[in-house]
Amino acid sequence: MRNSLSIISLGFLIISCGTQKSLKTTTTKTTTPVVAPAKPVINVQKPKIQHEGGLDFFKENIANITKNDNTISYGSIVSANPAGYKVVKSFFPSVGQNFRQKYIILHYTALDDDKSVMVLTQQSVSSHYLVNNLGDNEIYQLVDENKRAYHAGISAWRKDKMLNDTSIGIEIVNTGYKTDANGVKVFPEYPEAQVKKVAALVKDLADRYMISPTNILGHSDIAPTRKQDPGPKFPWKKLYEDYQIGMWYDEDTKQNFYNSAVLEDYAVQMTVPSFVFKIQTALRDFGYDLNPNGTFDNATMKTIETFQYHFRPENYSGMMDAETWAILQALNVKYPNK
């Protein structure tokens, strides 16, 4: 049943007469009978609420799905307990509501299992979930989904900023990169068992909160000048292909852009302000927090690098090239920023 809430007579007030006694006292000096206001009678078919562990839960769609109010919820109903008064749920739930959770942000901890748990529970950083690397079937929850965890920091994507307010944060145990003798960042692999856990968790969250593919991102996507996680070894393509999670480009569209590109020296092109401006605008349009200025500066290079971590992980030099440029354009065609 997609829409369990049916309001049969919302707003239809049945006015009933007052008591005999009050009528007698109030009608003696007037010809117009005065009726006492009565409680509105509203026939609402309430969703089933079950009580569990001192909390109320509901497990049905609580609003009108045709209005795109993404309110399928399996969460707890937290109510006020005002001293001396009773909270009445006769009018609950309103159809006009949606979820606050709009994003899923993936991280790596850059720590081992024990230290990850310690830091994320005992210090000022936190995440809603922690995916260990122990090969078991457990995923740790550290923060209630309805509360804010401190995982994103200063961050932005498309029109949104400070994404702690609107996101679910998932930390994945992974030791993070080491820099080799040539100054290249070398990232460790994610074991398949761990990737499966992450995928199952993200799938569940994305389905429940109806999170857009454009809003399932890595920490580096929303803070490209500061962050590298979850890094180029995180298999975004596999998540897209095997679990329908997040974004990926269409190969044909990418190939068309690639074929129509003049195969020029992009290192030289990146010294041409008009070309740099075009690249920066495309990155900004896709969602990155980048201000087009025509200069191939550090912020632009870091943003290209983080884009490559996500969508062209074979080479994450931070330099623009024909393939990266074709992928970026193909993504802007598929996921326009409205």
Q: Using CB under 5 A as the criterion, which residues of the chain lie in contact with Zn ion when the complex forms?
A: 107, 219, 229
70 DSSP 8-state letter: -
Q: Which long-range contacts (CB under 8 A, 24 or more apart) does 74-78 make?
A: 74/208, 75/145, 75/146, 76/146, 77/49, 78/146
What is the smallest separation between the CB atom of 230 and Zn ion, expressed in angstroms? 8
Hey, what are 96's tokens? Answer: 């006009």
Contact 337, 284 (CB under 8 A): no
Which sequence positions are flagged as catalytic? 171
Strands, E assignment, 133-278: 140-141, 156-157, 160-161, 167-172, 178-179, 185-186, 216-218
Nearer to Zn ion, 145 or 229 (CB): 229
What is the smallest separation between the CB atom of 125 and Zn ion, expressed in angstroms? 9
The Cα angle at residue 316 between residues 112 and 149, in degrees rounded to 5:
45
What is the smallest separation between the CB atom of 108 and Zn ion, expressed in angstroms? 7
Hey, what are 127's tokens? Answer: 């995440």
Nearer to Zn ion, 174 or 329 (CB): 174
What is the smallest separation between the CB atom of 152 and Zn ion, expressed in angstroms? 8
* Helix, strand, coil percentages, rounded to 5, for the chain: 35, 10, 55
What is the smallest separation between the CB atom of 240 and Zn ion, expressed in angstroms? 21
Nearer to Zn ion, 169 or 287 (CB): 169
Cα–Cα distance for residue pair 72/64, rounded to 1 Å: 10
Nearer to Zn ion, 194 or 280 (CB): 194
- Pairing assessment for the beta strands 103-108 and 129-131 based on DSSP bridges: unpaired
Cα–Cα distance for residue pair 74/62, rounded to 1 Å: 10
Three-state DSSP at 299 gives: helix
What is the smallest separation between the CB atom of 39 and Zn ion, expressed in angstroms? 52
Nearer to Zn ion, 229 or 321 (CB): 229
Contact 310, 218 (CB under 8 A): yes
Nearer to Zn ion, 221 or 229 (CB): 229
- b vs e for 41-63, b when ≥16 Cβ sit within 10 Å of the residue's Cβ? eeebeebeeeeeeeeeebebbbb
Cα–Cα distance for residue pair 179/309, rounded to 1 Å: 16
Nearer to Zn ion, 97 or 141 (CB): 141
What is the smallest separation between the CB atom of 227 and Zn ion, expressed in angstroms? 6
